[in-house]
Chains A and B, each alone.
Chain A
Amino acid sequence: MYVAVKGGEAAIANAHSLLADRRRGDRSVPALRLDQIVEQLALGVDRVMSEGSLYDRELAALAIVQARGDMIEAIFLVRAYRTTLPRFGYSNPIDTGAMLVERRVSATYKDLPGGQLLGPTFDYTHRLLDPELAAGADVAEPLQRETEAQAMPRVSAILAREGLIEPDGEMPQDHVPGDITREPLEFPMARDIRLQALSRGDEGFLLALGYSTQRGYARNHPFVGEIRIGEVELELDVPELPFAVPLGRVRVTECQMVNQFKGSAKAPPQFTRGYGLVFGQSERKAMAMALCDRALRASELGEDVVAAAQDEEFVISHSDNVQATGFVEHLKLPHYVDFQAELDLVRRMRAEHDARENADMLEDKKEAAE
């Protein structure tokens, strides 16, 4: 059967101009500027950069406005934009040990070189809505404290001195880092590729999976070894210059999760680690990523794969919210032909079912009469 699905051009065009109108809203309210979003909705911008997998604040801010604040739609816009640009190369790996730290906390050591720096955190706030903010009250300048610059080695380095923690993750000597933007996903997957997928993965999905590991589905006894947020230098090797060219600084959040491990056939009792690294200030995401990274190392560490968070095909195939929204949302698009076929099928099955019932009933009556 053929069902016509042409038409709707005028409706679509009008819907888009209606969208533009509703996006702008009441014209007597001033329009948002991108710098306002970058400055005042900074963590929303960071989320779009992290899951859009593109570090560019102004573009993320534009995407947020264009998407009317729908974060997944904004992430989608950023992902679409990045496909239009050529790639100049891969940066040299960033050195989070040399970060200009804006926040750094550890749940495993109270006293550590460089100290615990709370930075601009929501922790210890009372979560009370602030009417003064609504009234547009002035905000005081933050306090400053004069101190000597202090080196801040990663906490994992301190634990390593005891010999009770596994080293930073190494790959075989000749391993070339995989790139999910260039090669289709294949399972089983190396840890570096998993980390790339997790870093752009949906915060809510990874948060729920991380939470599930804490509640007993693949429990792995995590402690936050360290969270650090701040800016790192980015450098790129280019053929025309004899040194790595400095590109500027990017802000990232790093989470080192430390997990007690009772040992297995493959490894002795020790602390194992999960790692999280994401664009911007995105602490919850980095922590969730680190929990998932550790859970996904089950096979490598000789643990039984018993829970969803340990199943890499399940986790990695469903962590990308652009893919997920595309497949879920496509269901609302016209499926008239498919549905006609389904309708025919169900009608036929129902008719056959009814015919059988009637036949059985006649049979029963006949038997009763005899």
Chain B
Amino acid sequence: MDIAAQSIDGGFADPVFNAQTVFRAVMDAMARPGSVQPLPAFTRPPAPLSATAGAIALALCDNDTPLWLDPALQASAAVKSWLGFHAGAPLANTPADAHFALIANPAEMAALDGFSQGTQDYPDRSTTLILQVGNLVSGAPLLLEGPGIEKTATIAPAQMPRHFVEQWKQNISRFPRGVDIILAAPDGVACLPRTTRIKTMEA
């Protein structure tokens, strides 16, 4: 059957320039880990997919990038057909097959090491995780250092995965393999590439 109207509405109004703007924001956020790059709401995806995460998905995903959805998103037929129509990305069967993963509920998400970690020859083949977070200030603060950060940077994303700091330590130990994380907040993005170390977690 034809997909419902809500799956067709709400894509980029100006696909080329909107995608470029989103790509630029994600690239800058990835280059300067912990910095928050503002992003206007370019998309209106069906709930529970957020406007920011939806825009990032449309900018980065296409027919060649299998996409994994967490159970909350998986449960929404409208989200699946919206992504299918606007991004054309096939759904990955398992987290390990995914080029990108969309996580609506990071607090409950599967372990980072369950996603594709890439290979020694092709570390770029790991999964890029897009985590929807409520904001980047009210959670437990993360003190960051590493390439792209002059001294240290701090962000405090809300609703992060359980044992995140420990999981991230293991992620770094797999370098050059390992996942990268894009944090999609309502008004902007921040990134945690696999080169970023979380130094301490303040109380």
Contacts and interface: CB of A to CB of B under 8 A. Distances in A.
Contact, chains A and B (beta carbon distance below 8 A): yes
Interface stretch (A12-20, A211-219, A235-243, A289-297): A235-243
B63 A87 contact: yes
Interface in B72-109: 81, 84-85, 88
Interface residues of A, number: 9
A240 B84 contact: yes
Nearest to B3: A240
B150 interface: no
B155 to A, nearest CB: 33
B202 interface: no
Contacts of A88: 63, 88
Given A88-B88, A89-B88, A239 B3 contact: yes
B62 interface: yes
A30 to B, nearest CB: 37
B177 to A, nearest CB: 18
B2 A240 contact: yes
A188 interface: no
B64 interface: yes
Interface string A102-116: 000000000000000
B13 interface: no
Given A88-B88, A89-B88, A242 B2 contact: yes
Contacts of A89: 63, 88
Interface in A241-292: 241-242
A239 B81 contact: yes
Interface string B158-182: 0000000000000000000000000
A131 interface: no
Contacts of B64: 87, 182
A156 to B, nearest CB: 33
A239 B84 contact: yes
B1 interface: yes
Contacts of B3: 239-240
A87 B1 CA distance: 24
Contacts of B2: 240-242
A89 B8 CA distance: 19
A51 B154 CA distance: 53
B82 to A, nearest CB: 10
A242 B2 CA distance: 7
Nearest to B80: A239
A88 B86 CA distance: 11
Contacts of B1: 242
Nearest to A90: B63
Nearest to B15: A86
Name, among A86, A239, A241, A242, the residue most crowded by chain B CB atoms within 10 Å (CB to CB): A239
B97 to A, nearest CB: 11
Given A239-B85, A239-B88, 17 more contacts: A86-B62, A87-B64, A88-B88, A89-B63, A89-B88, A182-B64, A239-B3, A239-B81, A239-B84, A240-B2, A240-B8, A240-B81, A240-B84, A240-B85, A241-B2, A242-B1, A242-B2
Interface of A: 86-89, 182, 239-242
24 contacts: A86-B62, A86-B63, A87-B62, A87-B63, A87-B64, A88-B63, A88-B88, A89-B63, A89-B88, A182-B64, A239-B3, A239-B81, A239-B84, A239-B85, A239-B88, A240-B2, A240-B3, A240-B8, A240-B81, A240-B84, A240-B85, A241-B2, A242-B1, A242-B2
